[in-house]
Amino acid sequence: MNVTDPEHKRADPMGEAGGGRAAWAYEMLHDAIREGTIAPGQRLMEMEVSAWLKMSRTPVREAMRRLQAEGMLEHAAGGGMSVVLYDLRAIDEFYAMRESLEGTAAALAARNADETEIRILAATLDAMRALPRDARAHARENQVFHEQIYRAARNRFLLKSLQSLLNFVPLLGPTTYNAPGRIEDALAEHVEIVDAIRARDPARAEDAIRRHIRHSHESRILVVSDTVRNAVRDRAQGLRGAPPKRLGQP
Amino acid sequence: MNVTDPEHKRADPMGEAGGGRAAWAYEMLHDAIREGTIAPGQRLMEMEVSAWLKMSRTPVREAMRRLQAEGMLEHAAGGGMSVVLYDLRAIDEFYAMRESLEGTAAALAARNADETEIRILAATLDAMRALPRDARAHARENQVFHEQIYRAARNRFLLKSLQSLLNFVPLLGPTTYNAPGRIEDALAEHVEIVDAIRARDPARAEDAIRRHIRHSHESRILVVSDTVRNAVRDRAQGLRGAPPKRLGQP
DNA sequence: ACGCATAATCGTGTATACAATAATGTGCAA
DNA sequence: TTGCACATTATTGTATACACGATTATGCGT
């Protein structure tokens, strides 16, 4: 490994702000998947998407390949790509993984975070307290909170893994903040985590965040149970599920 | 000894059963990075690579974007991509991450592996025992061994994270098997790990593999120290390091 | 000789045309 | 009706041309 390369400058992390049509297409598709406009299992064709976004296939292709590399799209059977559709078992796998990674992150953050980062973390807590009782808003703020911890851990590989892991959240179903009482519980747990980090206690931080993730897991199961039950009931009534959504009109 | 001439590997793009030129280009670039033919920090231009592989820019682009998504390439300063060049601190980060992930994998494997997987794992041990005392050969077999564990853990997200993490190994320097006595030590540690998995003891398996990774970390530091010392010595003698390698002629 | 404006150059981003391939339908025979 | 061969078509894969932006070279004025 070359340590002393004077010419090496850190490349600016690919500007997301209008960095070109390909980046924009990536954003649009990513959002559409996150919002559920494009459902898991749905097939996407390059021409269809390029017509939707009014651009040529080239940047669309690039965006789709990137999404594929990140695991949100996969080669579909009859050609083309489809949004990955996970079985229920994936939920356990996801949370097991998340518990491990977040636990590591919290422990490292307790060691490596500087004072500023800790104060930002605390400020995020205040912001969440001030938030209205809206599931979606809390989900967003929650992600900010967790990403703060990832960064405070100061481990680039861990950061990457966690960020790519979180891409799968929207593919697992609706927000867990829809579970009753989840907002209040989560906030209390967040406080515990920040306390442990502020106290520079890695073991306690890891333990707190692991409990947090396990609770989140339980909430997820509740939410998914509802979804599944509803789906079964609807099918029993002859409703074959929502008709395939068209890309133009959300 | 191992001459890494890309032209020798696969004669022509069409001859192989490769899924297309883009996939082939990806393989070639990936290999070149792994083998060190393309050094960390080196800049790559699309046209240069497309000339090297005798294809148009389109599939080359695709391959490079994929490598970028996987973290092996990054946007270079003056346009183009460059192989990521890590500072020495990355080594600690890498092994911290690896210890966490492999620990989780081993624990899960102890729970979830079926009998066949365990027997394959044991067979891999035998294969390693039969191997000649060649660092590169052991490194390869070692990777097979570890991937067996990842798979036995039965967690798709964990598997992905670990696989992408391992992509960075070649960017950290030469094989740790070059450290003295590493081959024998590693084998003994592998045996411990398999024993714990066979005994269905997750805690012991995790502990064993964590120790294994920590030892590997120490070996890595020894090897990198050598590399750095040599680099400094060479520079002191006015040798500005190896001249930039040309893609066609190794 | 120096500084600034401007042109030339290099390399990527995007569009479009064309080729190859995999799915599907169709016709014919058993 | 079933099965297979073949044509058709839908969709992706690749090449090429052009446009745009950034960086570097050039030349003129001072």
pLDDT-derived band at B75, boundaries 50, 70, 90: very high
Interval A162-175: pLDDT, tens: 999 999 999 998 88
pLDDT digits (tens, 9 = 90+) for A43-100: 999 999 999 999 999 999 999 999 999 999 999 887 789 999 999 999 999 999 999 9
d(CA A109, CA A131): 25
pLDDT greater than 90 at residue B227: no
Reading the block at residue B117, the tokens are 């997987």
Q: Measured from the CB, is B22 under 7 Å from any atom of strand D?
A: yes
Q: Say whether A97 and B157 touch across the interface (CB within 8 A).
A: yes
C-alpha neighbours within 13 Å on the C-beta side of residue A41: 8
Amino acid making up residue A73: L
Nearest partner of B220 among A109, A148, A1, judged by Cα: A1
Q: B43-59, pLDDT tens digit by residue?
A: 999 999 999 999 999 99
Alpha-carbon distance of B225 to B222, in angstroms, equals 5
Structure tokens at B31: 């290999």
CA A39 to chain centre: 16
Fold of B13-83: Arc Repressor Mutant, subunit A (1.10.10)
Name the residue closest to C15, CA to C1'. Answer: A56
The CATH class for the domain spanning A21-83 reads: mainly alpha
Q: How far is CA B148 from CA B108, B121, B228, in A?
A: 12, 7, 33
Question: Max alpha carbon distance in chain A (Å)?
Answer: 69
Residue written as token pair 């798979």:
B151
- Report the alpha-carbon distance of residue B25 to residue B61 in Å, rounded: 9
The rounded average pLDDT for each run of 10 residues, N- to C-terminus, in chain A (250 residues) is 31 48 95 92 94 96 95 87 93 98 98 97 94 88 95 97 94 85 92 97 98 95 89 73 50
Check if the beta carbon of residue A40 is closer than 8 Å to that of residue A83: yes
Contact of B82 with chain A, judged by CB distance below 8 Å, is answered with: yes
Q: Give the start-to-end residue ranges of the domains of chain B.
A: 13-83, 89-236
Q: Which residues of B touch A210 (CB under 8 A)?
A: none
- Tokens representing A214 are 């396990």
Task: Considering all nucleic acid strands, name the nucleotide whose C1' atom is nearest to the C-alpha of residue A44.
Answer: D11
Put simply, the chain B residues between 173 and 232 with a CB less than 8 A from any chain A CB are: 173, 224, 227-228, 231
Query: B126-155, pLDDT tens digit by residue?
Result: 999 999 988 888 988 999 999 999 999 999
CB contact under 8 A, A2 and B75: no
**Between chains, do B96 and A108 touch, taking CB under 8 Å as contact?**
yes
> Does residue B64 have a pLDDT over 70?
yes
pLDDT over threshold 90, residue B191: yes
Q: Does this chain's domain A21-83 share its CATH topology with A89-236? A: no
Q: Return the SS3 of B81.
A: strand
Q: Which residue has the higher pLDDT, B233 or B58?
A: B58
Which residue from B minimizes the CA distance to A92? B155
Superfamily covering domain A89-236: GntR ligand-binding domain-like (1.20.120.530)
Residue B36, class by beta-carbon neighbours within 10 Å (0-12 exposed, 13-18 middle, 19+ buried)?
middle
Task: State residue B13's pLDDT score.
Answer: 37
- Tell me the nearest-neighbour CA distance from B11 into chain A, angstroms: 27
Which of B69, B94, B154 shows the shortest C-beta gap to A157?
B94
By residue count, chain A amounts to: 250
Q: Taking CB atoms and an 8 Å limit, are A66 and B71 in contact across chains?
A: no
Nearest nucleotide to the CA of A19, by C1', is C13
